[in-house]
Amino acid sequence: MEQATIKQTIARVGECLEKGGYAKGSIRQFYYTTNQLLKFMNSEGIEAYTTDVGVAFLRKKHRFNVTALPNHSNAERLRYLRKLSEFQLHGAAVLKRSTGEYAIPSAFRTATDAFLTYRRFEGIVEKNMGTVSLYLERFFRYLESQSVIGVPQITGAHIHGFLRFITGFTSSSKDHMMRTVRQFLAFCFKNGYHSEDLTEFAPNVHYEKRSRLPSAYSREDVTKLLESVDRSNPVGKRDYAILLLIARLGLRSGDVVNLKFENIDWEGNRISLTQRKTGRPLTLPLLEDVGLAIIDYLKFGRPDCNCQNVFMKHRLPIHPCTASGMYTLVSNRLSRADLLKETGTKKRGPHALRHSLASRLLEENVPLPVISEILGHASTNTTAAYLSISVDKLRQCALEVR
């Protein structure tokens, strides 16, 4: 590929990001990264861009280590470079949206609206409808890049091509995307939107669902994390309360940022809310240390505003914390506590603290159904993924056969 062609590819991907609703800051970072890439290729005398060239660029310019988890900046650069490769191969790039607004192409909208109505009738949680829409949007954008302008034109070859298109995702994500595509194709055949049953072309992506052990921090690590927070300032008071809600009660990020005053029953010492992810109600005891931390933040740290959300950002303009910001908060606090250096490739986000709580409860011989209730899982099968870190303990939970 000639240098002019990679420049054109960069321009096309940039257009995709703009149409996809990416933030201006993200688009600026994309162009900054690709400009650095072009300078690297010129200095090395490289004319053709490949994934290997992108990795070499990151290694030389940004100390990228392929054997370790990338830091936030390199992970972002890697995503941008991967989009270049996707566009070279397929004429389209996978877009990851941070909002629930999905642009289904008009040629596929009628069938999609009918399919989503059917899925709602089946009882799918509304929160999960956004994920279904996201997967279908990716599928349709790929089809558009292959000049497919309607459901009747979809063929088995297009479905196999889409599977190659999403090859950069994890096996779990690919399996979920292909399942959504398979369900959509089955619906289209049964309801006359397509004359053939194409489900056989949308295979299951086989992978070992328990092959990756969840990250977990020890009791000592969690204690060290909490003790490292300086609570003499407003941000420290807020972060300490948030960390306690995740590490001691196992709340998800979305539920922490959506926590409102009305969810806290101070007299009854409990927190009651509707989970953002599952739509299921959840009631947890308001532990003394958690309650005191929240009170400390409300009295001496929280900005003065009329918002009903408990946790606020502390930079102008004042507005509620976001779920995406929780990852940065927890990761930064783990880093400040020097836990990331000690734990190697462990995950660094809020879910790692949920995993840690599940592990600790198991070690204390808390029954599996009770752990499921605490974590807000609809099924103990989901909780089992968290508990795979302690097989011996899981065996001990088995009931005696009589």
Residue 283's φ and ψ, nearest 5 degrees, are -125, 130
Q: Which of 83, 351, 355, 360 is catalytic?
A: 351
Close Cβ partners of 32 (under 8 Å, ≥ 6 residues apart): none
Q: Which of 174, 252, 355, 360 is catalytic?
A: 252
Q: Which of 135, 193, 217, 386 is catalytic?
A: 386
| CB-CB contact of 162 with 205 (8 Å) | no
Q: Considering only CA atoms, which of 13, 53, 23, 52 is closest in space to residue 36?
A: 53
Q: Which of 277, 314, 336, 393 is catalytic?
A: 277
Helix, strand or coil, per DSSP, at residue 312:
strand
Q: Which of 141, 354, 355, 360 is catalytic?
A: 354
Close Cβ partners of 190 (under 8 Å, ≥ 6 residues apart): none
Q: Can you tell me the distance from the alpha carbon of 90 to that of 145, in angstroms, rounded to the nearest whole number?
A: 7
| CB-CB contact of 337 with 224 (8 Å) | yes
Q: Is 314 among the catalytic positions? A: no
Sign of the CA dihedral with 74 first, then 78, 79, and 84 last? positive
> What's the token pair of residue 214?
């969840």
Q: Is 377 among the catalytic positions? A: yes
Q: Can you tell me the distance from the alpha carbon of 26 to that of 28, in angstroms, rounded to the nearest whole number?
A: 5
For residue 222, the Cα-to-chain-centroid distance in whole angstroms is 23
Q: Can you tell me the distance from the alpha carbon of 190 to that of 260, in angstroms, rounded to the nearest whole number?
A: 44
Q: Is 386 among the catalytic positions? A: yes
Report the 10 Å Cβ neighbour count for 375: 20
Q: Is 351 among the catalytic positions? A: yes
| CB-CB contact of 239 with 253 (8 Å) | no
Residues catalogued as catalytic:
252, 277, 351, 354, 377, 386
